[in-house]
Structure 1
Amino acid sequence: MTYRLHAVTIRTDNSAQGMERISELWQDIVSGKLPLLFDSDHTMPADISPVSRYSNYASDETGEYDLTVMTVTAEFFAEMDEKVEKGLYKKYDASDEGGDVGLCAKKAWGMVWSDKKTGTIRRSFTEDFESTVPAAYTKEGKAHCYLYIAVVE
């Protein structure tokens, strides 16, 4: 029997230990230990992308939250862009010429925290989404990080 998970969730925070838990989760996903990107036969469906969902915040970015890594189709991104147009989310896009997805994520989250600090956005801390794209999967050869941050209307 072949099977594939559609989502996996951990409870974590932004501490050093929390970042280690997130790194371990992604290692298990990328290696196929958790069959999220690959089914149990190590076959990857062509029409899915991994997305991180941040939810169930205890408070703000300083507290605990649920991190769910899930697979989505292109339809998900179209729906999120509609929510951005309606003012429910703000979209952040960061890239790295060298192809480092970790650096992309740091840049994108840095923009979010800067905007929060300056009052440019008011985060709702309900559900936020992150999609990192390795350079090998982009036309221009850059790594990208797209964040959809829920904002207060």
Structure 2
Amino acid sequence: MSIDARLAELGITLPEPPNPVANYVGYVITGNLVHVSGQISADENGPIKGKLGADMTVEQGAEAARRCAISLLAQAKKACGGDLGRVTRLVKLVGFVNSTPDFVDQPKVINGASDLMVAVLGDAGRHARAAVSAPSLPLGVAVEIDAIFEIA
């Protein structure tokens, strides 16, 4: 099944990738790797803000991470000239969780992105990963995640 078909089956429509808000680009292609800049948690209503361990549950954080994954796929699609079929695997995710000093469930939060990538990419979505805490993130968002994809 194609990646676009899996997305449709999951009821996911990729948004237009957001433009960078500072002096960087949305992605860089080097060799057969696409490095996608950090994508913040946002949905059709704007940024998903909050701090895990204070005003957000792990489940809400995982949904915020899932939204980051959707944005990562949108950037990857743009990098591939609109053809996600060029993605051969997800190499790595690095997830940052806006959380209190005593919050320890960052991996559970970033699973929201990891689970979506496996659902969309199958075995090619299994990846190396880091899930770390941050005392704050841009715009007060709950999660920011960057990614490295391998492409054909």
TM-score normalised by length of structure 1: 0.31
More helix, by proportion: 2
Bigger-Rg structure (1/2): 1
Which structure has more relative contact order (CA 8 Å, sep 6+)? It is 2
